[in-house]
Chains A and B, each alone.
Chain A
């Protein structure tokens, strides 16, 4: 998710799916790639020496337009990524929105996929891709049947091989293997009958997957799960071509590095894919030339791709050159100077954002879209004084949410959040809902004090906490800007309630680990954010508020639904915290509009009865492009630009 206000520690404010992966037998783990502070600082110096090239782009902004009438294919898009992808393009391991976009737009087709547009333009809807249609669902919701198109071929070197249903099963078998999918999201697939048994080595095949013929895939679930179709739009289910009789086909022997031997199905492939040789043993194969980890990615057109089988990807550019590394400010200077067409995972620096927002000639090059992520403050409900719901409510009333947004870069970085789940996942049912409204969203200290008066930690009823637990409570945040600035504001907001914070700041991954470990006794976590994995409320429910997502799993920092046993083991005196497990479970059995309503009800209940968070911002993705790019589309699925829909102006294609 974008951090819009960069600072001392660039490179850490990466746009990512800040989500979780299951480690070993079940730990969700953050997948941030930390970058040494030193590197960032050196980068700063470099940026300082690089000077300011602003102004060179003025006047040429008129070529940018959203018009799609005269878009011509051709040209190579020049991009930069601050950091490499998280698992070297291995589709079973990659749990990172940037890689997901490269898969969706360019490299890998899946049974179902998205059109690379915003929610309003249908970008959150599933469309058939390799499949001929959306799956047929049995009346009990336990069986899904997919039919595959014919004529979908692989990229080099398997250009004459057609995708079959068995290739999808092969990908799922690889996903079930904990070694091959380490850091991935295989926990979502456990609802497929026999999936975990296969992964544990208890079965020779996944019982719930049937392939009656090459163009049919039947999926049996062990319990109804309305989100199943979304799972077949994720790259972990992208087909892997057969290779002799090797069980894992082309991925055989590449448990750790299949990404560098990736066989494409999309409109693009890595440069040099034609030189891949899968006939020799895996350890003698040479990885593809078009991806040098940590340095560069080069995508070229896939000569075996048949656009007539694909209604989702216009694929205007002839290819992409992506450099990896650099300094955030410096890269955006290059975009302004026209040396780059965009930065994939960067954070538009505030001065640049201001310039592009206020200069009418530059405005068409600025693209702001909701990224379906929420930023929040998370309470540890087992740590006094946060075991008292009135203290948690008082925080919700006292926080200056508008100020929190200003410190991130102002109105363009997002919408003030009044609840937990992003509106698109609830079909806007709660769009105007905020149980703790304050004037201008700037906090209301009097209302907060009224709430605090009801707390057992305010014994004299003056609206000020007088318990020692309110003093110097351990608060953890991200060390990158603007989190320390936000921490200062939070401290100022809470002080009138008698609450003082001992703020510790860490590199982002460490921060998430601290917040997640109950024995660390972090009272309040100031810096987390959460984005969806796929457009369904489930990805905002179970991983955040399910008791199964408590350490060593991830991301239920507030310990919602923790058992008294767990609490005492972690050294807490509090024995009882609210739970949301039952409600999450029943919501997940709903479909259609009832499903939206169920998520909205869960959200309301969490906001009013549980109160584990102060949500304060629904994040936007902020992006700028060079003047060469005359067509921009936002992919709601990955929360990034849809790169296949970048179109280069005809006169700039050479």
Chain B
């Protein structure tokens, strides 16, 4: 997972490529207009048609996730069972009037299950990514800013986490913490969506941490940091006021790129049967349910699969677009 990000991370710091001249040349030929960084970003991003398309898909997914209960009001509840939509062998029936995506093995409307699945996926993706970002930025900042022993300890921890067999460990953790109603670690981690989010977050922070560390390492040598320091700023102030705003762009980019990975991670866990609780809709679980029956019920694999595919693709496109727009030095 996220091998590509790691490579970017390694090539990121210190590559002081010359600024792209094209923007400037375009502008001098016209009236010179002062543009804010935000405007510059938006102009660049808008030109990337794939990124804009991805953004529309992401927004669409958000909308259906938020509006799922409203949509359910017009169709069916996500756990409403329609036994008459199963044949006499309990095999589900396909797309039909009232059930555009067909029904699943329990006779539930697959359409509304997939819509609700967007809720699960997006919730976990954002919550887990949030956890990963907070941990990653904090530790990356500390490591890059203080260097020395702090850096050694944090960097080696990153190496250790990256070398863990993530999926196996996550399987174990989720099973162990899902056994008791009170969860594990004295009730801090409870079974359910949050548990999955914690586990996923726990394994995806190192990517962010590495990137932030690299950026901070180069930034802390810059003149404006020197001047802040000579003016008597505290370390904390330098970190929050001077360094953090300058690493915001890569953080946003790589956070966006981690989201699709986390969506897939949740799907994988649910596919393997340790994900979300049994009645909670999830794309990964729908795919897993389809596994034994897709030869006679293709819709059970197609629709959740398509939604998973397009959401993941959209986040990746948006992430790439953001990177190009926020950080033109990397080119592309």
Contacts and interface: CB of A to CB of B under 8 A. Distances in A.
A37 B274 contact: yes
Interface string A412-448: 1000000000000000000000000000000000000
Contacts of B88: 406, 410-411
A448 to B, nearest CB: 17
Given A409-B90, A482-B90, A503-B277, A403 B295 contact: no
Given A8-B271, A411-B88, A481 B279 contact: no
B272 A503 contact: no
Interface in B157-207: 168, 171, 175, 178-179, 181, 191
A474 B296 CA distance: 35
A622 to B, nearest CB: 11
A2 to B, nearest CB: 14
A403 B279 contact: no
Contacts of B90: 5, 350, 406-410, 482
A16 to B, nearest CB: 20
A41 interface: yes
Contacts of B178: 504
Contact of A7 (B80, B81, B292): B292
A619 interface: no
B105 interface: yes
Nearest to A355: B296
A510 B272 contact: no
A487 B89 contact: no
B53 interface: no
Interface string B259-299: 00000000000011110011100000100110111111000
A277 B97 CA distance: 71
A47 B289 CA distance: 14
A454 interface: no
A8 B289 CA distance: 5
Given A8-B271, A491-B79, A407 B91 contact: no
Contacts of B288: 7-8, 41, 44
Contacts of B278: 477, 479, 484, 487, 503-505
Contacts of A7: 105, 288-289, 291-293
B106 A488 contact: yes
B273 A37 contact: yes
B89 A409 contact: yes
A521 to B, nearest CB: 8
Nearest to A54: B295
Nearest to B104: A485
Interface string A204-246: 0000000000000000000000000000000000000000000
A400 interface: yes
Nearest to A510: B179
A45 B80 CA distance: 29
Interface in A39-57: 40-41, 44, 47-48, 52, 54
Contact of A357 (B89, B107, B108): B89
Given A403-B81, A479-B278, A481-B105, A351 B181 contact: no
B291 A351 contact: no
- Chain A residues touching B, range: 35 or more
A488 B273 contact: no
A111 B293 CA distance: 46
Interface in A372-414: 400, 403, 406-412
B33 to A, nearest CB: 56
Interface residues of B, number: 38
A504 B279 CA distance: 9
A6 interface: yes
Contact of B91 (A354, A403, A479): A354
A353 interface: yes
A527 to B, nearest CB: 11
Contacts of A504: 178, 181, 191, 277-278
B291 A8 contact: yes
Contacts of A410: 87-90
Interface in B9-53: none
Contacts of A354: 87, 89, 91, 296
A351 B91 contact: yes
B171 A37 contact: yes
A488 B79 contact: yes
Contacts of A41: 271-273, 288, 291
A41 B268 CA distance: 10
B302 interface: no
Given A41-B271, A41-B272, A485 B291 contact: no
B326 to A, nearest CB: 38
B2 interface: no
A143 interface: no
Contacts of A477: 278
A349 interface: yes
B58 interface: no
A265 B92 CA distance: 49
Nearest to A506: B179
Contacts of A400: 83
Contacts of A409: 89-90
Nearest to B191: A504
A485 B105 contact: yes
Contacts of A510: 179
Contacts of A484: 106, 278-279
Contacts of A37: 171, 272-274
Contacts of B274: 37
Nearest to A349: B292
Interface in A333-367: 349-351, 353-354, 357
13 contacts: A5-B105, A8-B285, A37-B273, A38-B272, A350-B89, A353-B89, A410-B88, A411-B88, A482-B106, A484-B279, A485-B107, A488-B81, A504-B181
Given A481-B289, A482-B90, A504-B278, 16 more contacts: A7-B293, A8-B273, A41-B271, A41-B291, A44-B292, A54-B295, A349-B293, A354-B296, A406-B88, A407-B105, A407-B106, A408-B90, A410-B88, A482-B105, A489-B81, A491-B79
| Leading 4 A-B pairs by shortest Cβ distance | A485-B106, A484-B278, A44-B291, A8-B288
Interface of A: 5-10, 37-38, 40-41, 44, 47-48, 52, 54, 328-329, 349-351, 353-354, 357, 400, 403, 406-412, 474, 477, 479, 481-482, 484-489, 491-492, 503-507, 510
